[in-house]
Amino acid sequence: MNPCHEYRADILLYLDNALTGRQLEDFRAHLSSCPDCKAQLEEELALSSLLRASRPLYPAPDGLRARVAAAAAGHDSARTPEPDLLHKARLRIFSQHVRHVAQRAFGWKTLTVTIFALVLCVLLAPAALRRARAMAYVKTAIATHRSYLNGELPLQIRSDSPKIVTSWFAGKTTFHFQLPISPPTLKGEPVYRLTGGRLVNYQGNSIALVTYETASEKISLLVASSTTAVAAGGEQVRSGGLTFHHHRDGSFNVISWTNRGLTYALVSSLSGSAQHSCLVCHQDIATQALPGRTTTGFVSSGSEKYGFVPPVFFIRTRYRCENHTCGVTLALYTCGRNSL
């Protein structure tokens, strides 16, 4: 038997971040001494990078969402409606059929039109409206961050313990989330430190402000239900199956994204144009640096620079392009999971 045969499966497991502990150590040790397996892994990573860079494979047609929303409300007549007719159809659907369909589908007489319509509203929201809602969230994130820096928004819970801060938020918001327990490290040093959090009002809803700090800057993170806030517009970077939206406002850099029913807005004051240019101009590098959903990357060369961390973590990606090396806080990748 080929001595490397048993490691072929490990390569696939490695790509799925399913190797841990002793298995992972053994695999890495084997890679360091086996050019064939190392080359094989690099080929697999190259293929994954190419495939993921070609996303979306098939974007949904523009009219499909409206058609689905209409069908969901009991109508299938909106297959190819004219825009104004579509708008009227939406209103008609909401006013005449939602309650009937809801009661037929669920059998709950108390189900209100408003609640059920939320499902359709999300699907029907036109792009312009989504962008407007997204900008409102971005501006709120910046205003909140500015107030926090100025001391106008004192933290209601001060702790560097994710567990304590998570517990404090429990029951105070309409959504649930859990802060990552262990942050990844750069050369053994934590890349950030949790400092606390507080509630912030956003369009009549209580959403979460979570604050972090690094050695040189303070970072704030807004967390809201994705039905309350959306992420859209700006400069978009797809990575790890998510789309990150970058907005720049003065000295503030805002990265927003939606994942698992929560919409995040990360605000920081990244200084230096080089850092910014790396993030904006070298997205191909960013893509290569994040071949999987649970990776944080250090890009220089080869594939042995990937450090795998749990799926709930803070990404800080260091880019090294031809001209310079810089560190960029890319995103809090997945801070929690909305319950459903």
C-alpha count within 13 angstroms, C-beta hemisphere, residue 308? 18
Question: Does residue 2 bind another protein (CB under 8 A)?
Answer: yes
Which stretch in 5-13, 20-28, 92-100, 319-327 sits in contact with another protein by CB under 8 A?
A: 5-13
Nearer to another protein, 50 or 128 (CB): 50
* 302: CB partners within 8 A, 6+ apart: 42
Question: Does residue 65 bind another protein (CB under 8 A)?
Answer: yes
CB of 317 to another protein, least distance (A): 16
Among 21, 35, 61, 171, contact with another protein (rule: CB under 8 A):
61
Which stretch in 7-15, 83-91, 144-152, 161-169 sits in contact with another protein by CB under 8 A?
A: 7-15
- Token reading at 206: 């209580």
Burial class (CB in 10 A: 0-12, 13-18, 19+), 216: exposed
Among 287, 295, 296, 329, contact with another protein (rule: CB under 8 A):
287
Q: How far is CA 283 from the centre of its chain?
A: 16
Question: Does residue 284 bind another protein (CB under 8 A)?
Answer: yes
Give the total residue count for the chain.
340
Question: Does residue 72 bind another protein (CB under 8 A)?
Answer: yes
Going 46 to 48 to 51 to 54, the CA torsion angle's sign is negative
> Footprint of another protein on residues 132-161 (CB under 8 A)?
none
Q: Binding string, 102-121, against another protein, x = CB under 8 A? A: ---xx-x--x---xx-xxxx
- Listed as own residue / partner, the contacts of 245-248 with beta carbons closer than 8 Å and 24 or more positions apart are 245/134, 246/279, 246/280, 247/135, 247/138, 248/276
Among 24, 30, 34, 40, contact with another protein (rule: CB under 8 A):
40
Question: Does residue 175 bind another protein (CB under 8 A)?
Answer: yes
Q: How far is CA 301 from the centre of its chain?
A: 26
